[in-house]
Structure formats: C-alpha cells, structure tokens
C-alpha cells in the first residue's frame, strides 16, 4: 500500500526525472538539426515519418489510429510532406481507392540519420556510468513501461521477464 510519503517521494523523483530527460533531450536536439528539413516539420509530422518508416505501406486511416490523432490532421500533414518530397502515396495493389504511404529516399535518409543520432546520444549519456548501472537503469525503465502499458491487464505483465532480449 502506497503511503503519502511514498507518493511525495515519487512526485519528487518524477520532477528530477523530467529535468534529466528534458536536459538530455535538449542536448540531443542541439546537434540534430544539421538537416534543414527537420526545422520545417512539426512534431506530429516527425512522428508520422517515424511511423511510416516502421510501418511502410500504412494507410492514412491506420496512421491516424496509430498516432491517436484525427484523420484530417493526418491528411493535412501528409499533403504538406508530400509537397516537400518526403512522402509518396501509392495505390493499394488490391484496392486502387486505398492509398498506401511510403517514405521517399530523402525521408528514409533523414529518419535513418535521426535514429542513428538518437542512439549515439543515448549511448553517450549511458556510457558515463558503470555498465552495472546502465543495466539497472534500462531494466528498471523496461519494467516500469511494461507494468504501465499493461495496467489494464496485469496478468500479462511479468515485470521479472526479460521481454526486450527475446
């Protein structure tokens, strides 16, 4: 049972975590914008590009559901990114009325560079700590995420299982 002291400690730790997260994100962001296209994209558009990168051929409706935003917002953003040469619409091979979304070669390059940069920045942040502490941080965050994402179905969340190394 969580006490008032536990809740207060959790809130203080959350504030500290936010400061660390914000500071590390700021460090990553300062070095990221060597590609001018990033400056012209909204956060929703960046999320869309990442989602299309991981789910090539997704339809706009599916993209809206994945990102939990309105289909109209997706349509507007896709139209803008299409005019920038980042996204291509192609007719579905079985239903010509359905348009599938794909990244252009330029967008794939941007996303690949961004992912590599983020990975390197996180590795650099972790590398200042002993390897045991690196494992502890990552395992603790994985455990918290697993429990949090399965809060509606706690039976499926086994926080002691190593889900990320399967």
Instruction: Please tell me the predicted confidence (pLDDT) of residue 80.
Output: 93
Q: Average model confidence (pLDDT) for the chain?
A: 85
C-alpha span between 78 and 86 (Å, rounded):
9
**Using an 8 Å Cβ cutoff, are 92 and 99 in contact?**
yes
Residue 5 has pLDDT above 80, yes or no: yes
pLDDT level of residue 94 (50, 70, 90 thresholds) = very high
Instruction: Please tell me the predicted confidence (pLDDT) of residue 31.
Output: 55
Instruction: Please tell me the predicted confidence (pLDDT) of residue 27.
Output: 73
**Using an 8 Å Cβ cutoff, are 111 and 38 in contact?**
no
Instruction: Please tell me the predicted confidence (pLDDT) of residue 76.
Output: 93
C-alpha span between 45 and 163 (Å, rounded):
30
- Mean pLDDT across the stretch 91-102? 92
Residue 126 has pLDDT above 60, yes or no: yes
| The pair of three-digit structure tokens given for residue 28, joined into one six-digit string | 């990553």
Instruction: Note the pTM of the prediction, 2 decimals.
Output: 0.66
Residue 38 has pLDDT above 70, yes or no: no
- Mean pLDDT across the stretch 65-85? 93
Taking only the tens place, the pLDDT of each residue in 40-59 is 788 888 889 999 999 999 99
Residue 163 has pLDDT above 60, yes or no: no
Question: Comparing 159 with 135, which gets the higher pLDDT?
Answer: 135
Q: What is the DSSP string of 120-139?
A: HHHHHHHHTS-HHHHHHHHH
* Residue keyed to tokens 């296209």: 37
């Amino acid at each position: 049972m969580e006490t008032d002291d536990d809740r207060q400690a959790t809130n203080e730790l959350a504030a500290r975590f936010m400061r660390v997260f914000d500071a590390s994100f700021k460090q990553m962001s300062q070095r990221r914008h060597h590609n001018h296209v990033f400056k012209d994209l909204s956060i929703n558009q960046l999320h869309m590009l990442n989602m299309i990168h991981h789910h090539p051929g997704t339809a706009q409706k599916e993209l809206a559901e994945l990102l939990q935003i309105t289909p109209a917002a997706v349509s507007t953003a896709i139209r803008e990114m299409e005019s920038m040469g980042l996204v291509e619409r192609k007719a579905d091979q079985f239903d010509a009325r359905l348009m599938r979304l794909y990244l252009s070669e330029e967008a794939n390059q941007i996303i690949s560079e961004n992912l590599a940069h983020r990975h390197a920045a996180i590795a650099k942040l972790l590398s200042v700590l002993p390897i045991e502490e690196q494992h502890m941080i990552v395992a603790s965050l994985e455990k918290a995420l697993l429990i949090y994402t399965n809060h509606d179905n706690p039976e499926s969340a086994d926080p002691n299982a190593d889900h990320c190394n399967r």
